[in-house]
Amino acid sequence: MSNTFLAIGECMVEMAPTGEGTYAMGFAGDTLNTAWYARKCLPESWTVSYFTAVGQDQISDQMLQFLGDSEIDTAEIRRLEDRTVGLYMIQLKDGERSFAYWRSHAAARRLAADADHLKAALDKAGLIYFSGITLAILPPEERKVFLSGLREARQRGAQVAFDPNLRPRLWESTEIMRACVTEAAGVCTLVMPSFEDELAHFGDPTPKISAERYLAAGADMVVVKNGPEDVICATKDAQTTFQPDPVRNIVDTTAAGDSFNAAFLAEFLISDDINASVDAGARLAGNVIQHRGALVDSLVPA
């Protein structure tokens, strides 16, 4: 198997308030967060690569520079002449955060527009990671191209891992979101949902039902995260539960699921041991939520 961990999706410019009318610029996105933590968790013998589309302008150059500085390979990223990257702004009111987005014309929406280019990137990967947001931003025809590329990758023996990360506002309708996410689960070796989303948008009464639904869709294994509650790992033949250690000092739960996925997958690729993988995922996520922000530099997984 190839030693390339390939994450696919949208990285955005983030504007975070620093004071009265001033903002700090950064880069963020769910699949990028997972790639960033995977780079920290995997040994140097693994390449962590990101696949998306960006523009040819200065801010796109800066995004690629940020990825490169984070030791994430950017060689396969598409560069489009007529588009640029998406942006979101964090707004604070009475201590509550809300988000304003400018992403409807983002370059990342065209990441699967060139089927040959996409296939070349997929062919190099031992593990491919994507999310429901990756799917949501694609035009319907290009979702088909994307899923058929993943199907082929799974057939040739690659791991295909998917976090449904359900965000109905990004989709044409909730029905289309449910149908596409179910179809996507069917091309995956591993589906990694957060129960809070599955309860809200599929109406699953328990995490066990979420796991069974994704197994029935065609996934080989499902790992259901549930905040401080048990993580469930299920295959058609077996089901196990793991209790994450309690975290008392929660500061910011941003990227809990993304970091869990990264540490879980890194350990799974190295040891193929489910217990050790959940333990690594829960330990990293438990640390990340004790710090502010999505990408916490000081955390080196033990």
Choose one: 50-58, 130-138, 140-148, 256-264; the region binding ligand AMP (CB under 6 A): 256-264
Q: Does 225 bind ligand AMP (CB under 6 A)?
A: yes
> For the window 184-223, what string marks contact with ligand AMP as x by the rule CB under 6 A?
----------x-----------------------------
Q: Does 164 bind ligand AMP (CB under 6 A)?
A: no
Q: Does 253 bind ligand AMP (CB under 6 A)?
A: yes
245 is catalytic: no
Q: Does 161 bind ligand AMP (CB under 6 A)?
A: no
Closest distance to ligand AMP from the beta carbon of 251 (Å): 11
Do residues 191 and 162 lie in contact, with contact meaning Cβ atoms separated by under 8 Å?
Answer: yes
Do residues 111 and 136 lie in contact, with contact meaning Cβ atoms separated by under 8 Å?
Answer: no
Q: Does 260 bind ligand AMP (CB under 6 A)?
A: yes
Q: Does 227 bind ligand AMP (CB under 6 A)?
A: yes
Q: Give CA–CA dist 166/291, Å, rounded.
A: 24
Do residues 229 and 256 lie in contact, with contact meaning Cβ atoms separated by under 8 Å?
Answer: no
Helices assigned H by DSSP within the chain:
30-41, 58-69, 115-123, 132-136, 140-155, 174-185, 195-202, 207-217, 256-271, 274-288
Q: Which is nearer to ligand AMP, 119 or 167 (CB)?
A: 167
Binding-site size, ligand AMP (CB under 6 A): 17
Q: Which is nearer to ligand AMP, 14 or 198 (CB)?
A: 198
Q: What is the DSSP string of 192-248?
A: --BHHHHHHHH--SSHHHHHHHHHHHT-SEEEEBBTBS-EEEE-SS-EEEE-PPP-S
Q: Give CA–CA dist 148/20, Å, rounded.
A: 48
Q: Does 231 bind ligand AMP (CB under 6 A)?
A: yes
Closest distance to ligand AMP from the beta carbon of 83 (Å): 31
Q: How far is CA 137 from the centre of its chain?
A: 13
Give 73's DSSP letter: B
Instruction: List the catalytic residue out of 73, 163, 197, 258.
Output: 258
Question: In this structure, what are the phi and psi dihedrals at residue 24, rounded to the nearest 5 degrees?
Answer: -100, 135
Tokens of 297: 């530099």
Tokens of 225: 């995260």
Q: Does 250 bind ligand AMP (CB under 6 A)?
A: yes
Choose one: 16-24, 27-35, 117-125, 246-254; the region binding ligand AMP (CB under 6 A): 246-254
Residues catalogued as catalytic? 258
Summarize as ranges the residues that interact with ligand AMP (CB under 6 A). Answer: 194, 225-228, 231, 244, 247, 250, 253, 256-257, 260, 282, 285-286, 289
